[in-house]
Amino acid sequence: MSEEMRVTVERLGHRGDGIAEGPIYVPGILPSEVVEGVVDNGVMASPRIVTPVEDRVSPPCRHAKSCGGCQLQHASDAFVEGWKSDVVARALAAQGLETEQRPCTTSPAQSRRRAGFSSRRTKKGALAGFHAKASDVLIAVPDCKLVRPRLAAALPLAEALAVAGTSRKAELTVQMTDSEAGLDVSVTGGKIIDDDFRVTLAGIAQEYDVARLAWDEEVLTLRPPFQTFGSAQVVPPPGAFLQATQEGEAKLLACVTEALNGAKHMLDLFAGCGTFALPLARLGRVHAVEGSKEMVLALDKGWRMAEGLRHVTHEARDLFRNPLLPDELTRFDGVVIDPPRAGAEAQVTQLAKARIPRIAFVSCNPVTFARDAKILTSAGYRLDWVQTVDQFRWSTHVELVAQLTLAKS
């Protein structure tokens, strides 16, 4: 049943939509704004703003209304930073945790160095960009204010790959990363590769000056796509995880280094390709553990080619099914842990038993972080501070890093 209504938005939901009493969901509206419009099944899809708030701003990107890549371009930076800090505070409070919350830091516009574009063939050629909000419709975003200019300028490459490698019924996912040697491109969802298509891909890679092009399992490398971690240069596997912005990575690393101050034998859990392990190796010995064998090998090669680093050991291990146990953990005096969104309950439970003096905890999900932090505080750790780090500007994604130290008995 549809009804014309006037409502006042009370808060933002986890997807960035305004929520009024009811609940009534109002996309693109900020808390305390008064809106009116037709409500259908609890959603006011096309609200008219009656009373705006001071934190409302004009979206800096001309694609903001149609593109689903950003959710909060209509809000001031101060509002978004405060809201993300509040998300962290609420997650902590739900577990009965309190601590110092440092002000949120936000990566600048046009700083995202990796992005997953979608690309589809059309009658006249191809279209590449992001999906529209809550839709499978593709929106071209040639003036995207989120990604680095090199990525925004590479949309014609994604279109060329779609023309060459997919039908009009299919859609490519084109993961692009800006490396120090040029674009690092990983494609999934396309046709099966054969000899003729390999030649075609090589021509596209040369035409668009691609450093590396991976088509599913097939990899064509023209130049190694290096990323720098501390003093080490690492070539990640195609499509491997990388922190979204250099600025965000630098802030996380600074906080991790602070949290592990004084540690001489450190453990890096969910180590990836060495984002933290390799810079920390300037300060002490490091043992890096990561589930992907390919990422561990990339980390090891980067360490061996670098100068001035202490000893870095490594192992490929599934920390969800096979967490490190207390007898394996007690030789370390500091640990950094950076799990995926699900958190690391099994591994954190073992950390709590091992009682390593200092823990730097990096998380992309405040809810699972708070759950895991509660395990540690219940075992005698003190949550000293939490730093919110916004690498995903204008989105609802929230990241943080925290310091936990073993309380003296």
Mean pLDDT to the nearest integer, 146-167: 95
Residue whose C-alpha is closest to residue 216's, from 241, 238, 245, 183:
238
Task: Answer yes or no: are the C-beta atoms of 404 and 354 closer than 8 Å.
Answer: no
pLDDT digits 0-9 by tens, 370-398: 999 999 999 999 999 999 999 999 999 99
Catalytic-labelled residue, pool 67, 70, 144, 364: 364
Q: What is the dihedral of CA 49, 54, 55, 61, to 10 degrees?
A: 70
Mean pLDDT to the nearest integer, 45-61: 95
Q: Residue 399 is encoded by which pair of tokens? A: 């990241």
Task: Answer yes or no: are the C-beta atoms of 78 and 384 closer than 8 Å.
Answer: no
Exposed/middle/buried for residue 45 (C-beta within 10 Å: 0-12, 13-18, 19+): middle
Give the span between the Cα atoms of 73 and 394, in whole angstroms.
5
pLDDT in the model for residue 409: 53
Give the span between the Cα atoms of 60 and 89, in whole angstroms.
28
Residue 312 scores a pLDDT above 80: yes
Q: What would the 3-class secondary structure string for the chain be?
A: CEEEEEEEEEEECCCCCEEECCCEEECCCCCCCEEEEEEECCECCCCEEEECCCCECCCCCCCCCCECCCCCCCECHHHHHHHHHHHHHHHHHHCCCCCEEEEEEECCCCCECEEEEEEEECCCCEEEEEEECCCCCEEECCCCCCECHHHHCCHHHHHHHHHHHCCCCCCEEEEEEEECCEEEEEEECCCCCCHHHHHHHHHHHHHCCEEEEEECCEEEECCCCCEEECCEEECCCCCCCCCCCHHHHHHHHHHHHHHCCCCCEEEEECCCCCCCHHHHCCCCEEEEEECCHHHHHHHHHHHHHCCCCCCEEEEECCCCCCCCCHHHHCCCCEEEECCCCCCCHHHHHHHHHHCCCEEEEEECCHHHHHHHHHHHHHCCEEEEEEEEEECCCCCCCCEEEEEEEECCC
pLDDT digits 0-9 by tens, 252-280: 999 999 999 999 999 999 999 999 999 99
Could you tell me which residues come within 8 angstroms of residue 9 by beta carbon, excluding any fewer than 6 positions away? 18, 19, 20, 26, 29, 30, 31, 32, 33, 34, 35
Residue 296 scores a pLDDT above 80: yes
Dihedral sign of CA atoms 297, 298, 300, 304 in order: positive
61 is catalytic: no
Kindly state the percentage of the chain with pLDDT values over 70: 100
Residue type, 136: D
Residue whose C-alpha is closest to residue 276's, from 401, 96, 121:
401
pLDDT digits 0-9 by tens, 79-137: 999 999 999 999 999 999 999 999 999 999 999 999 999 999 998 899 999 998 878 88
pLDDT in the model for residue 22: 87
Mean pLDDT to the nearest integer, 28-48: 94
pLDDT in the model for residue 379: 96
Mean pLDDT to the nearest integer, 152-167: 95
Mean pLDDT of the chain: 95
pLDDT digits 0-9 by tens, 129-149: 999 887 888 999 999 999 999
With both helix axes pointing from N to C terminus, report the angle between 77-94 and 366-378 in degrees, rounded to the nearest 10: 40
Q: Provide Rg for the chain, Cα atoms.
A: 23
Mean pLDDT to the nearest integer, 43-54: 94
Q: Which residue has the tokens 């808060």?
A: 11
Task: Answer yes or no: are the C-beta atoms of 228 and 180 closer than 8 Å.
Answer: yes
pLDDT in the model for residue 169: 86
